[in-house]
Structure 1
C-alpha cells in the first residue's frame, strides 16, 4: 500500500519506476494444454493403484496424514481442551473433537470417578451469624453423656477474621476437590440458615446421609504462642443416646490419614500444646462425635489467636493447601 507523497517502490510493477511487464512465452499455451491432458490420466492411474492394495501413506498400513493428525498429542492434551481447563472435569473442550475425547479418556481412570458412589459430609464449624442468635445457640441439647449448648460463635483472629468464615471457605474448597473425583458431598450448613445447626443435628445429618466419612472443620482459640493443628477423634462412648463403639477404629484411621496429609500439604506441624506432638487428640465430650454413627473426626487447622498461625489461616493460598490435605486424607481412607 502506498501513501500520497511517499517514495515510489522500485519493486512495485504499478509504480512509475517499476520494471516492464514480462513478455508471454510462445510455448506457454501448448504446454498448458499438454499438462491438462496428462493430469486426469495420472489421477486415474493412482486410484487404480490404491484399489489394488498399494502401500503408500494411505494404503494398507492404515496410517496416512489424517490418521497422523488425529493421533497427535497436540490435538487433545492442551489443558484447556481435553482436560476440561481449570474445572478439571475431564470432559472434552469445545472444538477438540473425537481426538481430544480419546486422548483424555485415561483421566477418568486416574481419579476423575474414583470416589463415585462415596458420600462425604463436610461440617463447617459454627455459623457466620451465630452471634446474632445467642439465645438460640445457648439452648442445651442432649449429647449422650450430658447436655451441652446447641452451638457457639467460635473464635476469631485478632484482626476479626472469624472461625466461621474460615471453616466455610475451607469447606467450599474441600467440596470442590472431592466432587472432582466423583464423590457426593453434603454440607451441614452453607451460610444458608440464621444459626447452627446444633451439634446434635450436625451429627444426625451425617448419619442420615449414610456418609462414608464426615469431617468437621474448625480453627482453635488457644493462647498466643501456641501453634499447630490437631485432629480430634471420638472416644469409646456408650451412654444415653451415644454409642461410638463401632466408629472408633475407622475414625482413628481417617484421622491419622488426614493428619499425615495435612502436615505434608500445608507444611505446618502438629499442635505443640495438645496431642503430645502426634496431632491426634481423643475426646468424649463433643456431641458431634458422640452422636455420630458413621466415621467422623474434627480438625482444628491452627490457632487463630497466635499471630503466626493467624497469618496462615487468613491466607487464601494456605486455605487451599489445607483443603487439599484434608481431601487427600479422605481419599486415602475411602480407597481403603
Structure 2
C-alpha cells in the first residue's frame, strides 16, 4: 500500500529500535534471515526476480501517490489458478491441527474503489483521529493493481489454512463494489472473535526501495481505540510471519523502513487501532520497484508469499 491516505500516512518519526528483540524474534527472524543468505548464495530460479535486496538506503522512503487501476488494467497473465471469487466466510475443515481456530484475512483495498471515490473519501473515526474510509491502493508501473495482488495472495492463504482445519473469513472477496471501510475491516475480525487477523498489502514506495515489512500495532488508548490488550500477542504474530516469510520467499526485510528487522510499529492505522484481536499488516514488497515488481507479479512467488504468511499464522496459533 502507498503511504498516502487512510492507513497509509508516512510513519511518524521514532527512535531506533535496535535493542534486543523478543524471544520470538530470536527464535524465528535470525534463523530465517540466515536461510535467506544461503538462498542468495545458491540462487532460486523460480522466484520471478533476482531475489537480492538493494543496498540499504540512508534516505527515507519516497511516498508515491496512490494509483488507481483502470477497469482494463493489464493482467499479469498468471493469476488463473487463484482468482475466482468464493464465499467471504468459509466453514472449517472437519479435522486438522487448526480445527476450532478462526483466522480473518483482510485483502487490502478493493478493485472497485476507484469507481467510488465519494464513498471511500468519507472519514471514519480510528480513535486517535479521523481518516478516509479506504483508498484505491497502489499498482505496478505496468498497471497490476495492489487490490488484485492482495486478493490473489489472500485466496492462496485461505486454501492453505483451510487444509489445516482453520475457519477462514475475509473482509472482502471481490464480492462488493467498494470497501469495506477501515473501521469495518477491524470490526469483522472483532466480531468473528478471530484468533489471528492479517491484512495483506503491497507498498507503493520509490524505486530502489525493496523488501517486505510487517506492521505491528503500537499501544493506543484513545477514543474507541484500545490496543493495549493485543500489543504483545500481535507482536508475536508479526515476528513469526516475518521470520517465516523470509524462509519461504527468500525475500529480504525492507531496506527503507524497519531498521532491517522487517518490523514496524505504528499508531496511525485504523485497521490496527480498532482491532480487539491479534492483528498485523504485511507489506509484501514495493510495487514501484522493478525487481520487487518481478516478484509480486509472479504466480510462483505469490504462492511462496502465501506459504510464508500461512506458516507464520500456524506457528502463532500453535504456540
TM-score, length of structure 2 as denominator length: 0.70
1:329 aligns with 2:317: no
2:166 is aligned to 183
Name the Cα RMSD after superposition: 1.2
Distance 2:215 2:209 in 1: 17
Q: Tell me, what secondary structure is at the counterpart of 1:120?
A: strand
Aligned equivalents of 1:133, 1:143: Cα separation in 2: 21
1:222 to 205, 218, 232: 205
| Equivalent residue in structure 2 for 1:253, among 230, 236, 259 | 236
Aligned match for 1:156, one of 135, 139, 151: 139
State the 1:215 CA deviation: 0.2
Quote the residue 2:267 is aligned against. 284
What secondary structure, in the 3-state scheme, does the structure 1 residue paired with 2:169 have? strand
Equivalent residue number for residue 145 of structure 1 = 128
1:196 pairs with one of 179, 197, 207: 179
Whose relative contact order is higher, 1 or 2, with alpha carbons under 8 Å and at least 6 apart? 2
Report the counterpart of residue 133 of structure 1 in structure 2.
Answer: 116
2:299 is matched with 316
CA shift at 1:124, angstroms? Answer: 0.1
State the shift of 1:232 in Å.
0.1
Residue 82 of structure 1 corresponds to none
Q: C-alpha separation between the residues in 1 aligned to 2:117 and 2:245?
A: 33
Q: Give the CA deviation at 1:249.
A: 0.1
Equivalent residue runs for 1:1-336 within 5 Å: 113-336=96-319
Higher helix share: 1
Residues in 2 aligned to 1:211 and 1:174: alpha-carbon distance in whole angstroms: 16
The CA deviation at 1:217 is 0.1
Give the number of the structure whose alpha-carbon radius of gyration is greater. Answer: 1
Gaps of 5+ in 1: 1-107
After superposition, the C-alpha distances for 1:177-221 in whole angstroms (9 at most, x for unaligned) are: 000000000000001111100000000000000000000000000
C-alpha offsets along residues 139-168 of structure 1, whole Å, 9 cap, x if unaligned? Answer: 000000000000000000000000000000
Distance 1:179 1:126 in 2: 23
SS of equivalent to 1:246: helix
The number of equivalent residue pairs is 227
Inter-partner Cα distance in structure 2 for 1:134 and 1:224: 27
C-alpha offsets along residues 116-154 of structure 1, whole Å, 9 cap, x if unaligned?
000000000000110000110000000000000000000
**How many angstroms apart in 2 are the aligned matches of 1:330 and 1:280?**
16
Please report how far the alpha carbon of residue 260 of structure 1 lies from its aligned counterpart in structure 2 after TM superposition: 0.2
Q: Normalization by structure 1: what TM-score?
A: 0.67
Aligned to 1:275, what secondary structure does the other structure show? Answer: coil
CA distance in 2 between counterparts of 1:294 and 1:187 reads: 15
Describe the SS at the equivalent of 1:293: coil
Runs of 4+ in 1 over 6 A off after TM superposition: none
